[in-house]
Every structure is written in C-alpha cells, then in structure tokens.
A = this chain, B = another copy of it.
Amino acid sequence: MNVSIIGSGNLAWHLAPALDNTDFMVREVYSPNPSHAEALVEKLYEADVKASLDFSTSDSNIFIIATADSAIQEVAQEIVLPDEAVLVHTSGSQPLSVLGFAATPNIGVFYPLQTFSKEKKMDFAEIPLFLESENAFTEKILVQMAKALTKKVFKITSYERKALHVSAVFASNFTNHMLLIAQDIMKQNSLSYDWLKPLIAEMITKSLAIGPENAQTGPARRGDLKTLDKHIEFLQGDPALVDLYKMISQHILDHYQE
C-alpha cells in the first residue's frame, strides 16, 4: 500500500517515518508550505513533494490529512483523489463527517492519542490508535495500517472520540497548565521550580499506579479549610488565580464529600 500525507506538522513529522518502516510507505507529501514538505520528504525513503492537492494520477491508496483541525474540511473538499482512495483525518476533535464532502466514500479517522513535538522521537508501538470508518473496505485498510504501527488499536465512534479528546485536555493540557502556574508562583517568589520536580514526578508515578482517586492528597482532600483560606489569602494579588484555586479546591471538596 502507498500513502500520501497532507500536512507537515508535528504529527506528520512522526507518523510519516513510522509508516515508512511498514508496508504502508509514504510516497507523497503535500504542504501549503513546500519547504516544510521538502524537509519531511528528506526523512523518507521514496517520497516526493506534491505541489497541489490534485492526486488524480497518484499511485497512493491512502491519503492522510494531518493538517490543523481548521484546515481539514477545506482539504477534503479540494483534494482530487484516484479511484478507491481511502481518505482519513487524524484529529481528536473533528467528527468523521467533516470529510463528508470528499470525492470518495472511503473516509475514516486515524487518531493517535499522543502529544508530538518535532524534537522528540516517539515510539508508535506505545501509542494507542483510534479508528473510525465509513465502510468495511475503509475499516479493513485502516486496521491493517494501524496494526503495522501498534498493537493498541481501537475502533471508536466520533462521539466517543470527542469524550476521549475532552478527557485528554484535562489529563494533558490542563495538567501541564497547573505546572505552569506552579512555576509562575515559584518565580514570583524567587524560588527554584526545580525543587518541585521530584514531587511532580512522584505524584504522577503514584497516580498512574494507584489511580487519581487514591493518589489525591492536599488541603482540599483533607477538608482543611484553614489552609485553603491561607492559600487564598496568599494569592490575593492575582484574582484569576484566586478564582482558579477556589474552583478546583471546591471541586475536590465536593468530590470527596459525596
């Protein structure tokens, strides 16, 4: 099977070379920025830069849209595909139907749940892949391609993928933002953020091992309202942080009082 990739962002940067080591070789890369496509092609065995979205003469079987979420629908409407082409997007937040106007019935979603950055190598074997397919033909191909990368292959609906994506925002984006806030408070008091790192590492290790329910500690978990008040007083120069501190603490209090 041959694969064409539309987009050259963080996901494409990791997915294309990973596929290149399977029976699903990447032959074409399109990016609105040709120099980005060129940089990605240089990492691949036999891929060419495509200058347009006209793939009518392409030898590829699978077309992977790995652009920003906001560009998916437009790409799906513009792209010209060969017969029997399978077209997928890779977004956690977009439904399958965003590909509904594409010129192929063989549409699907190929969503790897991980955070990618260009600098850091990722092992796809550790990454769960979530598939959705419009028809059996598409599903068969997507399952094959996914299993070539990882054993963790799951079929879920667009609605379930949305639940997964919202959960991932809390588990990953919001968690990291809590660390940013901690770092800010430390900086403002001329204290070293590094001091918190052993605590952060141990807390996550423990939470992953025994579950967040059992791993929860702290004043809100203990119902220690005096300490909560002291912390709120400490933060009073930053009303937005006071609101955040109060709301998250209340959510913890409510959870453990139920």
Contact status A212-B179, CB under 8 Å: yes
Q: Which B residue sits closest to A198, measured CB to CB?
A: B126
In the complex, the count of this chain's copies comes to 2
Is A137 engaged at the interface, CB distance under 8 Å to the other chain? no
Within 8 A of B (CB), among A176-216: 176-183, 185-186, 188-189, 191, 195-204, 206-208, 210-213, 215-216
Do A185 and B211 touch across chains, with their CB atoms under 8 A apart? no
Residue of B160, B188, B189, B191 touching A189 (CB-CB under 8 A): B160
Instruction: List B contacts of A222 (CB < 8 A).
Output: 68
- Shortest distance between the CB of A83 and any CB in chain B (Å): 33
Chain A interface mostly: helix
The answer to the question of A45 belonging to the interface, with a C-beta cut-off of 8 Å to chain B, is no
**Which residue of B is nearest A250, CB measured?**
B240
A185:B204 contact, CB within 8 angstroms: no
**In the complex the two chains form, is A216's CB within 8 Å of B176's CB?**
yes
Instruction: Please list the residues of chain A having a beta carbon within 8 angstroms of any beta carbon in chain B.
Output: 68-70, 93, 113-115, 117, 120, 122, 126-128, 152, 154, 156, 159-160, 162-183, 185-186, 188-189, 191, 195-204, 206-208, 210-213, 215-222, 224, 226-227, 230-231, 234-235, 240, 243-245, 247-248, 251-252, 254-255
